Structure 1
Amino acid sequence: MAGREGSENMDYITTKEAAELQGCTVQYLRKLCKTGAVECKVSKSVKGKDMYLIPVSALSEQAQHKYGKQLRESMQLLPETAESKPPAKRKKQREQKPLEAYSAQERDKIALWCQIIKDWMDTRASYGKRSEADPLFVAKCKLEHPELEISLDILYRKYAAYKQDDYDGILGIRGGWNKGKSRIPPEIWNVYLYYWLDDNQPTASQSYLNTLEWCRDFKPELLDGIPSERAFRYRTRRDVEDYVKCMAREGQKACHDRYAPYIVRWYDDLNANDCWIADNHTIDVQSVDDKDKQHRLYLTGFLDAKSGVLVGYNITDTPSSQSTILALRNGIRKHGIPKVIYVDNGREFLTRDVGGLGHRTRKNSLAEFQPPPIFARLGIEMRNAIVRNARAKPIERTFRTLKEQFSRVFSGFNGGSVAERKESLKTVIKNGLLPRDYVLRESLEAWIDGIFNCEEYGGSESKYKGMSRIEVWNQSIAEVGMRTATDADLNLMLARSTQMQKIKRNGVRIKLHGEDLWYMDPTETFKMIGQSVYVRYDPADLRYVRLYDEQDRCICTWGLADYLYRDYLEENPDAVGDAMRILRSVNGYMRDGAAAHLKKLDPAQRIAALDMTVRRAHRNKLEHYKIVQPSNIIPMRANEEPAELAVGAEDMATVIDIKRMADNAEKERKG
């Protein structure tokens, strides 16, 4: 070979010869030699230019064997033996999958290609020169299968895959020979996941930079082997399961809502009024009240689980337990009393006198008497939804329907978020075009009964197909009957109640909107002070309340003691006089009650307490006061002789007037 030189048992060839062996351009190889990327030596050509000579050992194995073959041919040597052949290039091994791992559509496609390959082999076998059959068979396949891309190269590739039972190759799925392998060191991959699988949801770029920084501090020897950020992104999509990403980056609730199974509720055994579902909804409409104050109203609704009818509702400024009672009253008057009410854990439902405290009940209060809540008095069982489980409350879908079909038709629609708020809302507010509260109330009441309840039933029961929601309710309730109550009984059962309290001097009290209201009866309250009772009242009529004892028996009815409320600097003498007259009447009732007991005794038998005490003392003295001398008498004597009394001493003692001496002392004291 021209240009070949030998030096120290090493063959050198020119860049042109090396480029032919390597299969690259001369310019590219000269550039590598000039930059030192390829081992070479420099010599001067005849024209004085630099000439690069490359050792054969610097070439690839394939190029070296090719050079040896040319050398043997030039030297007329024997062909190379099997041992002298270059090692075969390692073929990428594809991971084989069983046929059942493919979809039905993919299996049909595999079967089609297998049949085409068999037909091709049969066609070639019928020709003397097989290559003559190939273009004719390709043309025939294009006519029979215009939907397929067919060429001779494609047939050979499919045939190679067919012989190896490589179904991915038959389908034309490329790659996969190195699936599951990664150039990312396992320790570095774990560090990256530590930063990326965080609920702050950092970006892949931030996590990659944090991983590099960690490697500089703890594993600097691995820093050069870390691939690019793109490799981390690809492996994240390939190796990290979706549920893991969701759980770590978005939280347990998001993962539960997206990946966990849910309960499929069976409605066949459910009847109308078996279960009502209650909840509150913020109406997505800005409106103004009578004082031109801009706000949003709320809807408290009860939905029948069987038919989807919105049976009871109340529109209010603020969700509260009172709004719940009004919505329940509205539903009971029209649709009867349900058996079960399904509510969430809001305080407007878990109020002590409405549904009870539910899971908030304290153990130390279980032994105490608690007034029966409204649901219990109506014979309704209350069930609480699992916290943060919106799937269990179909009424949420009703509220979405209300939003889309009702709220959006108003000029004051502002959506449930900033993204839904329309651009023209500012102009509507500025021009005073927001709807009035009474217009919104009237329109919503008409929409609920006239449109929503009359729309087609959307449940899964086929026997109700084509019927409206209210028709489903009517048919179901006719099969089981309806519990009802008169207005008078309903008012009693829906009355609010207080906790147990002791009657005080001013009677009993209820707390309403932060204020204490006292109720009493001037003729009875003072007789019942200290007795334990609870109070039922109607917030719509606060003139009277009913008192109940611990056995839930009605004791009496008392009126509002509004006369006890007077300003501290009350100047109206009539107002103060009215209150004082009532207080004096109470004192009169108490005095008359005490005197009534005294009048029961005959005046002749009324003996003073002092006289009765002296009489009892004389009687006891005569009957019980006796001194008994003991048999053992011990005399005591003085150590000196007794003095003789002066003559006439006994007579002197008898003439002293003690009373006169006391009178004289009293006169001297008074001066």
Structure 2
Amino acid sequence: MVTWLTTADVAELYGVTERTIQRRITKGTFDGKVKETIGAKNKKAYMIDLSSLSLDKQKQYLLSKGEERAELIEDEVQKDEGNLEEEYTLGELREIHGEAFEEKLEEALKKKEAVLKFISLGHGEKTSGVKAICKEYGFSQRALYRYRKTYDEYGFVGLIKKPRKDKGESRLPDEAIRFIRGCYLQPMRPKITHVVKMYRKKAEKMGWAQVSKDTIYREIEKIPEPEKCLAFEGERAYNAKYMPCITRTYDDLMVNEYWVDDGHTLAIWTPEDGKIKRYTMSAWMDMRTRAMVGWCIARNSNSQVIAAALRSSIIRYGLPGTCYMDNGKDYKSGYLNADTKEEFFRGYEGIFKALDIKTSFAIPFNAKAKPIERFFETFSSELSRYLVGFCGESIEERPHNISKKEILIQGLSILDVSKFIEGYMESYNNSPHSSLGGKTPMEVMKEVDLIRHDMPTEEELDMLMLRAEVKTISSSGIKKFGIYYWDDKLIPHFGKSCVVRYDPNNIGELYVYVDGKLTCKAENKELMSMNATEEDMKRWGKLKAEAKRATKEAIKAYEVRQDEVRRYMLEDYVDEETLNNMLTPRNKEVVNKAKVVRMNKHTAKGKEKKEFDTEIENNKGFEFFEKLGEEFLQAK
């Protein structure tokens, strides 16, 4: 089973002339593995055994000429085809193994070379020779004898590893496979050796085959990666890596129909007050044009920063139809959205509702849900990376030569960083985008219709952007920041809920909204001092009296008496006489002879005492109380 090559074939392999190969034959270069033949015109020619060439030349020949020689090798194989389950030609093996064919071929050539050395061993050399060959090629003696037998029966092609007929199929029953995979797919990530141990215990009970650990390893390797991800890393990782994604198109949207927002921590170290800071940017993008419509930088992300970025966007490009946002607490705060139904019905709507902007929230923990994420990657790559102070989006990206001490001295201030960002945003909005067919966001914005044409004034916008909170109006006013705020217009609304809006930079006043209408501007209430003057007391006395009078008049205006309410509720339970006795006391003398004597300025006794008090002699006052006592005893 020798593959014979012509001198022309060998010359092509070595890149020399055919005459050079003939001279090497005469010098015995090919170890005598040459035979003479009759060539053209009855001249002597030579054939060279392929195995006499170096391994790299054998491999080169089989890869380049293997298809042409396939029939010859196939003929050799067919000699004892009954002993082989299924035979393949060299060409078929090339197709089956694909990219791995070259590696399989190289392995077969090494086996062949070892076998030929084994065959050439003389009498008495086998014991030591076999050991030397096995050590040289890394084969076991058992493997070498098996390769020799295969080569004798099937030739070189027999040494190329064949694909198994049952490849991909398991010898285990389905329930055993399910048990193996179920044991492995646990959050604590069991070791495969432990799964083998568990399988063997289970197999003994169930009567399954006691297979080798390699078989169990192979079953575990077949587990799909999505299953491993979900079992080991959880739903969040699975959603990000393997959850099927919907590819959205934005070409059918109108300008400002959808704005999307997200926060981004700048990968820039900024010096401030002797410390290194990393600021956060909140930015809004119009999904139809991909334009960055507004942004705001702050030390930390919060709902007020998001609102400030929204305000700048509205002033520049108008009102959006829907705001598409993350699920974070900042976006769902009461400042932007009413936290609860109770707050909503008490008159607090939040900025989005007040501006008639719809809201939509992305799928939680889904990084692919917001297209603005790609913008931040581009932003960091094209701008942040080249600014002084770039510290990398992660530790791995951090420049090795960056120094906090140097940044404190020569780093960019946040004002300088803002200027660079402003310039970048302008450039980005006026650069062609492949997703827009080569047009710029600004060009598309001019071509496509707006979703809304209404627009608040800056004053109205500023008022709505104030911080807001639901409060209760008490008789002391409205308590906020640990102090009370007051305005006389609050008096008719004691006990009511209201919405207060305020500027965090000016806490001296609150804008108070009752039933959705601006009622007053309450100011920081002046607390009554222990050294308050009589005029102060009189002023507050009048204010309290007025508040009480207004409250009494409001109750009286309802024109429903207490006795009426009682009569309506009790008339079904007792007769009218009993009800009248309860509502109108029969013995009025009992009331007139009450033990407590009222002596305020409106009663007769009070006026009588006042006359005694005006006398110069203090004893008169005692005489008055003696007289009261005598009258009381006589009544007894």
**If the length of structure 2 is used for normalisation, what is the TM-score?**
0.58
Contact persistence 2:338–2:348 (CA under 8 A): no
Q: Does 1:465 align with 2:437?
A: yes
Alignment partner, residue 352 of structure 1: 334
| Aligned counterparts of 1:194 and 1:452: Cα–Cα separation in 2 | 51
Alignment partner, residue 389 of structure 1: 366
| Aligned counterparts of 2:453 and 2:165: Cα–Cα separation in 1 | 70
Alignment partner, residue 556 of structure 1: 520
Query: Quick one: structure 1 residues 350 and 314, their matched pair in 2 at CA, closer, same or farther if it must change by over 3 Å?
Result: same
Deviation track 1:386-407 (CA, whole Å, cap 9, x = no partner) reads 2122222111111112221222
Alignment partner, residue 578 of structure 2: none
Aligned AA for 2:463? L
Alignment partner, residue 596 of structure 2: none
- Equivalent position to 2:187, from 169, 188, 199: 199
Aligned AA for 2:327? N
Q: Does 1:509 align with 2:479?
A: yes
| Farther-moved stretch of structure 1 (297-306 vs 580-589) | 580-589
| Aligned counterparts of 2:358 and 2:364: Cα–Cα separation in 1 | 19
Alignment partner, residue 343 of structure 1: 325
Deviation track 1:421-454 (CA, whole Å, cap 9, x = no partner) reads 23223465687444333222332233222x3222
Corresponding residue SS for 2:541: helix
Contact persistence 1:216–1:223 (CA under 8 A): no
Query: Quick one: structure 1 residues 378 and 221, their matched pair in 2 at CA, closer, same or farther if it must change by over 3 Å?
Result: closer
Alignment partner, residue 95 of structure 2: 171
Alignment partner, residue 498 of structure 2: 533
Query: Quick one: structure 1 residues 170 and 537, their matched pair in 2 at CA, closer, same or farther if it must change by over 3 Å?
Result: closer
Contact persistence 2:486–2:524 (CA under 8 A): yes
Query: Quick one: structure 1 residues 337 and 214, their matched pair in 2 at CA, closer, same or farther if it must change by over 3 Å?
Result: same
- Equivalent position to 1:152, from 69, 87, 97: 69
Contact persistence 2:257–2:451 (CA under 8 A): no
**1:270-669 residue pairs with structure 2 within 5 A?**
270-289=253-272, 291-357=273-339, 361=340, 365=342, 368-426=345-403, 428=405, 432-449=409-426, 451-459=427-435, 464-477=436-449, 482-499=453-470, 501-510=471-480, 515-521=481-487, 523-526=488-491, 528-550=493-515, 552-561=516-525, 563-564=526-527, 584-590=538-544
Aligned AA for 2:377? R
Contact persistence 1:201–1:250 (CA under 8 A): no
1:333 Cα shift? 0.8
| Aligned counterparts of 1:584 and 1:156: Cα–Cα separation in 2 | 122
Contact persistence 1:215–1:222 (CA under 8 A): no
**1:40-189 residue pairs with structure 2 within 5 A?**
149-154=66-71, 156-157=73-74, 171-173=95-97, 174-182=162-170
Higher-Rg structure is 1
**1:34-45 residue pairs with structure 2 within 5 A?**
none
Aligned AA for 1:546? Y
| Aligned counterparts of 1:594 and 1:536: Cα–Cα separation in 2 | 28
Contact persistence 2:271–2:407 (CA under 8 A): no
Contact persistence 2:275–2:408 (CA under 8 A): no
Contact persistence 1:299–1:313 (CA under 8 A): yes
Query: Quick one: structure 1 residues 150 and 531, their matched pair in 2 at CA, closer, same or farther if it must change by over 3 Å?
Result: closer
**If the length of structure 1 is used for normalisation, what is the TM-score?**
0.55
Alignment partner, residue 22 of structure 1: none
Corresponding residue SS for 2:368: helix
Query: Quick one: structure 1 residues 340 and 213, their matched pair in 2 at CA, closer, same or farther if it must change by over 3 Å?
Result: closer
Contact persistence 2:293–2:313 (CA under 8 A): yes
1:560 Cα shift? 2.8
Q: Give structure 1 stretches of 5+ with no counterpart.
A: 1-133, 136-144, 567-574, 598-624, 626-661
Query: Quick one: structure 1 residues 367 and 518, their matched pair in 2 at CA, closer, same or farther if it must change by over 3 Å?
Result: closer
1:349 Cα shift? 1.3
Structure with more helix by fraction: 2
Deviation track 1:501-521 (CA, whole Å, cap 9, x = no partner) reads 3322331234xxxx3353212
Aligned AA for 1:519? Y
Deviation track 1:552-598 (CA, whole Å, cap 9, x = no partner) reads 1222222233x33x9xxxxxxxx87689965653334446889999x
Query: Quick one: structure 1 residues 448 and 516, their matched pair in 2 at CA, closer, same or farther if it must change by over 3 Å?
Result: farther
1:414 Cα shift? 2.5
Contact persistence 2:269–2:407 (CA under 8 A): no
Contact persistence 2:256–2:451 (CA under 8 A): no
1:222 Cα shift? 9.4
Deviation track 1:589-632 (CA, whole Å, cap 9, x = no partner) reads 446889999xxxxxxxxxxxxxxxxxxxxxxxxxxx9xxxxxxx
Deviation track 1:513-559 (CA, whole Å, cap 9, x = no partner) reads xx3353212x4445543344322333344443322223x12222222
1:383 Cα shift? 1.2
Query: Quick one: structure 1 residues 170 and 496, their matched pair in 2 at CA, closer, same or farther if it must change by over 3 Å?
Result: closer
Deviation track 1:104-147 (CA, whole Å, cap 9, x = no partner) reads xxxxxxxxxxxxxxxxxxxxxxxxxxxxxx99xxxxxxxxx996
Corresponding residue SS for 1:425: coil
Query: Quick one: structure 1 residues 168 and 519, their matched pair in 2 at CA, closer, same or farther if it must change by over 3 Å?
Result: farther
Contact persistence 2:307–2:465 (CA under 8 A): yes
1:307 Cα shift? 1.1
Q: Give structure 2 stretches of 5+ with no counterpart.
A: 1-46, 49-61, 98-161, 552-588, 590-625
1:298 Cα shift? 0.6
Query: Quick one: structure 1 residues 177 and 341, their matched pair in 2 at CA, closer, same or farther if it must change by over 3 Å?
Result: same
- Equivalent position to 1:263, from 246, 255, 259: 246
Contact persistence 2:303–2:336 (CA under 8 A): yes
Q: Does 1:244 align with 2:227?
A: yes
